[in-house]
Structure 1
């Protein structure tokens, strides 16, 4: 047993699995980049106050923050999510061109119990749009997430939508829920949640709470005319784009900053208690809470781990990292391998080589394990004649050839 291992809830991601992460990020960047979103990179550490604004009644703030005092006496935290940091960046830099469309990818940290597809360090991809209050923008944001899942090849995805209404609607609804749940038969855990945030009781997956939750008031009963019209426009837009959805009155999402449109993507192959792949919504007021001007905003964050689990379950988006083009076998001291691998890489080919002055047999074993398409072999005879042996590594791929060093690149290009 090694002296040091990963901390609880953390894990290493090793190759070749990391190739799937790169591919997922590349697909996401292509989808949102085509819609005019630019990448933003925010710090892993922020003032803890940035995150307390997302809701002091949420578990993210009360139980899960990796918060500490740095050596300068500042109270800081590892970021538990990215939306608040993006809004802090907007408030700090005040970009003039609106809407401000940005996308991100990267790790977040929450000190919670690890579960399948959820770790204490977890990656997300997401977008945020700030500066425009338009229901059609809500449609664009949801459609981009839907297109991302489609581009990955996932088909068993359910889009769930709801509207929390205006702040006044939400406040009235919270009061009504508090009154209703006060006399309902709830678990002890939900009783504790009720004291902090009645909305969060609707998130309970405990069987004992199901009957009470089913009979709870619906948020739609409290929508103002403006909120109802906004939501109707969103639903009409999704329908126009042919995007299937389910209106779920009990959907509330996990953070307190949401207003009006909220949504969640659920994986049909995952357990119902852990099937949320990601989601988001409108959060008008968050930029203002972070010291900026009153600024409407909407966005989403999608979990990389659970998305990849869904991909595994559906048999899509596996590890199809390309094999090496060439593996250089040098048994004349190693300098030829230095030069040939550099030439191959400069010409756009992927290439590797053996080290430690190993024998021909040992280096050929490495070439086989590398899954390279070709072995480029240099021995005494080849060194003397300025040539190489090009050996196809796949079965039935033809015979090896001896050729001039100067012809190697052009030959590989002709057979690539």
Structure 2
């Protein structure tokens, strides 16, 4: 059975995890007024620090850690990261004071474990800042990001287990798992693995839904289906946008597989409701400029277990691919331009160094066939190719702009760069 302190802390952290920050601060104030404890009393000290946790968490969920405030020469660093660091020091001192005075086990344990929670928050702030910085650059290093978030998950899997901290631990765990699943989904998409990508996106979706459910008891607003997205906390909004961006990418990368299960018109309707309707963009460009084909080409070189984009039984042997067979058409509109693959593969292999520069568009004209191939790298193994049946020059900016823009969108850099734009 909980004693008064544990019961109070349980209610407080439930309010914090449900984003009832004002209510969390109110119950602390009432507790302090009702007890009127001496200033050096450990319980009084703990109560004095708790409102700052509510303040910090409110700023965190609104992406306040990406806002720099008054930081400069001879100015106090009052960033959110600094606030968490100061709080961590406060709780360490509280743990020491309690050990030397009353020896109250609940206060000592909670103070110690709150230090672990605050450490996890600081590490997550560093992680988000790293994602944002990568997003403003040319290329996302998804493997590096996944290693970092998995390290945070592993490091804190057994941290802050006290029952009064269950709610904030659950919320933090869900947040980390959402990020990990989405990053894994991106890496699986880069390898054109349908089922694995789908499972990771589904994993992210179920955890977003679970986190959403924990917020349903908030009085001032509820995450009901009709709720405008602008009313959601900024961090939650951003995670939804990241998932939506990855789902849009998944829908294009596995268009052929999905089209086998769904009528084309229904596919178009579904795509039109996505955050990025890549199919419509490609269709509009092709029709307007009379391109022979707009394609995504996958390079399966040195992927020993590659068996194509659909589902394959894990125990079914896979024949190793050779030469041209290593290159597959992931998507092609309006037709599957298989006859162009020899020229496309030739350009991909011979001009690999140019394509490796992700902001570069490569033009190649085949005098024999009178075809122009315009290419850009999206992912390490995925190349966007636009084919024309006439000579096109690099100065034709409408082609270059389309290829660069579509490649950039499919890399999803902008979602990460926009982390800071979500701040209030």
Would the TM-score normalized by the shorter structure come out above 0.5?
A: no
TM-score, normalised relative to structure 2: 0.24
Greater strand content: 1
- With structure 1 as the length reference, what TM-score do the two structures score? 0.24
Question: Structure 1 or 2: larger helix share?
Answer: 2
